[in-house]
Amino acid sequence: MSARQKFDAARFLASAGAHPGVYVFYQRDGGALYVGKAVNLKNRLASYFRASGLSPKTRLMVSKIHRAEIHRARTEVEALLLENHLIKDKMPRYNVALRDDKSFPYIRLADRAEFPRFTFYRGRRARGERYYGPYPNAGAVREMLGSLHKIFRLRQCNDAFFRSRSRPCLQYQIRRCSAPCVGRISREDYMEDVRQAKAMLDGRDFALLEELAEKMERASNSQDYESAAAYRDRIALLQRARGSQYVAAGAGDADVAAVALEAGLACFGVVSIRRGRNLGGNFQVRKNPLDLSAGELLEAFLPQHYLGGGAPAEILLGEKISGRAALQQALRAESKRAVAVKHRCIGHRAKWIESARAAAAEHLRAHLDQRSQVEEQLRDLVSLLSLPELPARIECFDISHTRGERAVGACVVADRRGPVKAEYRRFNIEGIAPGDDYAALAQTLLRRYTRALREDAALPDLIVIDGGKGQLRAAAGVLEELQLGQVALLAVSKGAARRAGDEQLHLAGAAKPLRPPRGSKALRLIQRVRDEAHRFAVAGHRRRRAAARAESPLQRIEGVGEKRRRNLLRYFGGMREIARAGVEDLARAPGISAQLARRIYRELHE
């Protein structure tokens, strides 16, 4: 079809058969407009090109169709799977795409370790490891891990840290670990704590509480009051964790999916129930590009959310969907077990559905309230800074380091709805003098906007810098070099007492700094964006610094591979003893020649 030729709907419909399949609409520039599936392609496609009955948004979408293609499928289940793949691959403009391809988070137990530990895990599950979940979000996993460490005092550290300890770490001091690394607990007792933690994760809380109560009574009767007190404390902690998470009625594994609609937006909510515990919910607000009903949106949402792994035994729906049987078959084929998708429920399941609906509606109202608040703050910002129009995109930068070590530059993004976390970026700063914040900021901005210009990415209407006049000059120099002088530039410095509310705003080209009043809505917006950039920068710096410090100095020495590194650590008992050893002592270790011993000594001391 030529670039100017109009889409021939009649010819396209004539090529569509009365069989299952998937259709894709494309716009003139080649981008996908919409991906849909149908049990009967001919009937479904004809509904788009009728003379009346279409919503305004659907008519607009149809008017943009430049070409279309059909993918025939043998069954409705096959069409469902293909539709899900194409939506994720093509990211069509009018589909409700979740844009979050992260797998579900789990708690993993490394059973094969001498002293096993429970860890956060996201990814493909491997054989030989035990997994608990899936959980609705990372926060639910961290909350459960926190309870496990507090109640059972299990190790949290990685294997390298564990092997290098010569005395207990801070986790032992605050009673979050029993210090198996230095022998403060026997392996037999530690494995008993692991067994009890597994019972808690398996939902056998009541049996565990009875067992601990019996042990407490026996210890008390034998006048072992110290052990009895330890059992008493564990029971109290377990009851507290159980009380904060337990569902009042019913047990089992289920997800409850609901949708709330308002102001052209849809909030998809999934509340997870695992072994009778409410683990919280995962809520996502998305545009409703074709004004679909709640049932139609839920039907589009479920395959994207569950295909790929993580479906529980039951999925309870807040709305009726037409493709329930096909979805059940697809999930069953993928999970290798039965997955029940239900809409009509009674008893505690009906209460779960109502609770999920209410939570989704509340989350959407909070989102709309925040968006309204942001728009008010943006209007105040336009007035304060004399901007030509309401900024559609704001980017804020901050630098974080510890005395110049491992500097990280951070960029956070906000639009008229609030933070756009998918577009946050961090930059590891290299090749500057330690502690030179101006050079670090210049490098961050140069890298950020050089790439944006090269890829023709969205540019901000306002750039905010955490700093004063010096940072403002450094940033202005980079923007001038990149010919981005049309972008408004603002630096935010704290007042003399460094108190929130006393900030000075240094606007590029202004003679004097602005001092907005404490109650200024614009100032609250700037503070929030600046604090988010600071948080994001500090988190990135800490992660980079921790990774550098966790790396063994032996890893940087040529000729010392994994086997020799392990031999050295075993022979000397830790990195500290290796650093203290002389050349002759090093040469006595298995696999270490005199020449290599001299190299190791030289690298560790020079």
Task: Give all domains of the chain, ordered by start, each with its CATH number.
Answer: 9-90 (3.40.1440.10), 111-245 (no CATH), 254-365 (3.30.420), 393-546 (3.30.420.340), 553-605 (1.10.150.20)
User: What local confidence, expressed as pLDDT, does residue 299 receive?
Assistant: 92
Average pLDDT over residues 400-404: 83
Distance of alpha carbon 333 from the chain centroid? 28
> Shortest CA distance to 78 belongs to which of 335, 339, 334, 336?
334
Distance CA 235, CA 205 (A): 10
Distance CA 74, CA 424 (A): 42
Average pLDDT over residues 157-183: 86
pLDDT tens, residue by residue, 498-530:
666 678 899 988 888 898 887 788 998 999 999
> Shortest CA distance to 394 belongs to which of 535, 526, 287, 505?
526
pTM of the model: 0.61
Which pLDDT band holds residue 53 (cuts at 50, 70, 90)?
confident
On whether the CB atoms of residues 12 and 69 are closer than 8 A, the answer is no
Q: Is the pLDDT of residue 2 over 70?
A: no
List all residues 6 or more positions away from 80 whose beta carbon is below 8 Å from its beta carbon. 37, 303, 323, 326, 327, 330
Q: What is the largest CA-CA distance in the chain?
A: 93
Residue 394 exposed, middle or buried by CB count within 10 Å (0-12, 13-18, 19+): buried
Helix axis angle, 205-221 to 225-245, nearest 10°? 160
Q: Is the pLDDT of residue 449 over 60?
A: yes
Distance CA 328, CA 340 (A): 6
User: What local confidence, expressed as pLDDT, does residue 143 receive?
Assistant: 82
Which pLDDT band holds residue 246 (cuts at 50, 70, 90)?
very low
pLDDT tens, residue by residue, 280-332:
788 888 889 898 999 999 999 999 888 877 788 899 999 999 889 999 999 98
pLDDT tens, residue by residue, 332-345:
888 888 889 998 88
CA dihedral 520, 490, 370, 413 (to 10 degrees): -170
First to last CA, the chain: 70
Average pLDDT across the chain, whole number: 85
Distance CA 319, CA 325 (A): 15
Per DSSP, what are the bridge partners of residue 379? none
Q: Is the pLDDT of residue 114 over 80?
A: yes
User: What local confidence, expressed as pLDDT, does residue 277 receive?
Assistant: 73
Residue 406 exposed, middle or buried by CB count within 10 Å (0-12, 13-18, 19+): buried
User: What local confidence, expressed as pLDDT, does residue 461 receive?
Assistant: 92
